[in-house]
Amino acid sequence: MTFKFKKAIAAGLAGAMLFAVSACGSDTASKDGDGGQVTIRFNWWGSDTRAKMQQEVIDNFMEANPDIKVETETSNYDDYITKLSTAAAADDLPDVMTMIDPFMNDYMDTGSLLDLSTLDDLDLSKFSDDTFAGATGADGEKYGVSLGVSGHGLVINPTVFEKYGVEVPDDETWSWDDFSNAAKEISEKSGGEAVGFSIDMTEQMASLWLRQNDEAFGVKGDEQVGFDADTLADWFTFEKSLIDEGATNTPDQAQELQSAGGTPEQSPLALDKSAMSVISMNQLANFESAAGHELKPVLWPGETQAKDRGGWTKQGTFVSVSANTEHPEACAKLIDYLVNNEDAAKIMGLDRGVPANPDMAKAIEPQLSDGDKRFAEWVEKSQEVNTQAFIPMNAGASTVITDSYARAHESVMFGKASAEDAAKTFKSELDAAVTE
């Protein structure tokens, strides 16, 4: 299988490859002092597997650059967000850090990040303009460079479908009713041994539902917040019906799994206890390894019946530099190594998505596992059928998306609030956050 990597670096945005030439570095961002060894901090989130691979890359970088010492710290996603916010409040951000929508806009908006196009030692010439979507300032500043193209997606466990004699739906045409019926049938035929769908406690599927209705959590047209509370309430109602009809695991179980970090090894999907689940698709190979068999990434339900396609791919993770770093040159060299070095690319593989640098994507193609190839094919297929651009969150919205949405969602799932009231409360809080 030869994957068309050129398509995979577009992050779901239409158009041919356009190459951006990095700007000449400013004097303030090209000097690191007296030439002695400097120490910089690099923080990221992720699994133990990612930590081992990333540390190997860092060790190789330090061996090649003995004048730079890199201190690293990693944690799970939720803890990472909290730690980064605390560090920003204390004016103590790490020199280099990973970023992702929705919270990246907040750091861009407050001037916390350095414009990477001012760094002489960072070559951005291989990255298309599209790969900076979500990391570009009002005046064209580049506040992050992509580590890979990915997205959240729905995965089917064929083993569970086969075990309980349920036909796998056609993801080219299936509706939300088809999805619901398949989930309920799995739960019923398994006699409680498995569920049809593992609840996703994040906003990913709600975001998909909105996009299928030509709405969005982010800016849509001239609106500050581009969705109606009624549309979100419809999603809450649909998801609650799945719970009430026994098609899913319980909210308690989903919440417990999320709190524990939600590793592939712990997931009902990999344990053959769930027929369908939402995952970060760049982790597909890890989920397959945990399951011990093939899993099937599919297109979202409802796409062919919707007002618009809701699925998307995007830059999975950006790497950024603190505006207050004392060592911009060292930071530039580190990031250049992360995104432009073939050895680094081969170590990381598709852990953070298909590399946005097409040369790195081509370099790792021969080593891809079957699971990696299925992920890469999903990226390509998703980009072919989904024509909507990914819509970044508004500045100021990240805390609301992660905290207020969770409260609203949980209040409905646990039966403590109506779908309508929870959706209205969430929208009011999001409106307030983006207009402050």
pLDDT tens-digit readout, 126-152: 998 888 888 888 889 999 999 999 888
Type and span of the H or E element at 44 = strand 38-45
**Can you give the pLDDT at residue 430?**
83
**Can you give the pLDDT at residue 435?**
65
pLDDT confidence band for 225 (50 / 70 / 90) = low
The more confidently predicted of residues 306 and 224 is 306
In the chain, count H helices and then E strands. Answer: 17, 8
pLDDT confidence band for 4 (50 / 70 / 90) = very low
Distance CA(24)–CA(120), nearest Å, equals 6
Q: In what order do the strands lie in the sheet with 38-45?
A: 68-75, 38-45, 96-99, 314-321, 145-150
The pLDDT of residue 93 is above 90: yes
Least confident piece of the model among 229-243, 260-274, 353-367: 260-274
% pLDDT > 90, the chain: 60
Residues 357-363: what's their mean pLDDT?
Answer: 95
**Can you give the pLDDT at residue 266?**
86
The verdict on 133 and 281 lying in the same domain is no
Angstrom CA distances, 181 to 160, 214, 268, stand at 15, 25, 19
The verdict on 397 and 363 lying in the same domain is no
Report the SS3 class of residue 149. strand
Number of domains comprising the chain: 2
**Can you give the pLDDT at residue 177?**
96
The verdict on 28 and 67 lying in the same domain is yes
Contact by Cβ (8 Å): 98, 44: yes
The verdict on 34 and 55 lying in the same domain is yes
**Can you give the pLDDT at residue 260?**
58
Contact by Cβ (8 Å): 48, 290: no
Q: In what order do the strands lie in the sheet with 152-156?
A: 276-280, 152-156, 296-298
pLDDT confidence band for 201 (50 / 70 / 90) = confident
User: Among candidates 300, 406, 329, which has minimal Cα distance to 120?
Assistant: 329
Angstrom CA distances, 114 to 7, 21, 108, 137, 139, stand at 29, 17, 9, 11, 13
Strand spans (E) along 90-197: 96-99, 145-150, 152-156
**Can you give the pLDDT at residue 219?**
59
Distance CA(205)–CA(300), nearest Å, equals 9
Longest CA–CA separation in the chain, Å:
70
DSSP state for residue 25 in the 8-state scheme: P
Least confident piece of the model among 96-100, 204-208, 272-276: 204-208
pLDDT confidence band for 61 (50 / 70 / 90) = very high
Angstrom CA distances, 185 to 169, 300, 333, stand at 12, 19, 54
**Can you give the pLDDT at residue 390?**
61
What is the token pair recorded at 78? 């939720």
pLDDT confidence band for 315 (50 / 70 / 90) = confident
Distance CA(83)–CA(339), nearest Å, equals 25
pLDDT confidence band for 309 (50 / 70 / 90) = confident
75: β partners: 45
The verdict on 408 and 302 lying in the same domain is yes
Whichever domain contains 197, its CATH number is 3.40.190.10
**Can you give the pLDDT at residue 394?**
62
Angstrom CA distances, 171 to 8, 15, 297, 300, stand at 21, 26, 10, 7
- In the chain, the amino acid numbered 68 is I
What is the token pair recorded at 285? 């190979």
pLDDT confidence band for 436 (50 / 70 / 90) = low
The verdict on 268 and 407 lying in the same domain is yes
* pTM for the model: 0.76
pLDDT confidence band for 410 (50 / 70 / 90) = very high
% pLDDT > 70, the chain: 85
Distance CA(112)–CA(77), nearest Å, equals 20
The verdict on 67 and 137 lying in the same domain is yes
Distance CA(317)–CA(306), nearest Å, equals 28
User: Among candidates 130, 122, 171, which has minimal Cα distance to 149?
Assistant: 130
CA-CA-CA-CA torsion sign (100, 101, 102, 104)? positive
Angstrom CA distances, 317 to 144, 220, 267, 390, stand at 9, 23, 22, 14
**Can you give the pLDDT at residue 2?**
41
The verdict on 207 and 297 lying in the same domain is yes
Domain that holds residue 416: 152-312+391-435
The pLDDT of residue 9 is above 80: no
Which of 358, 385, 412 is a domain's end point?
385
Do β-strands 276-280 and 145-150 pair in parallel, antiparallel, or remain unpaired?
Answer: unpaired
**Can you give the pLDDT at residue 312?**
80
The verdict on 279 and 321 lying in the same domain is no
The verdict on 295 and 353 lying in the same domain is no
What is the token pair recorded at 31? 């000097």
Residues 322-335: what's their mean pLDDT?
Answer: 98
What is the token pair recorded at 352? 């953070």
The verdict on 287 and 318 lying in the same domain is no
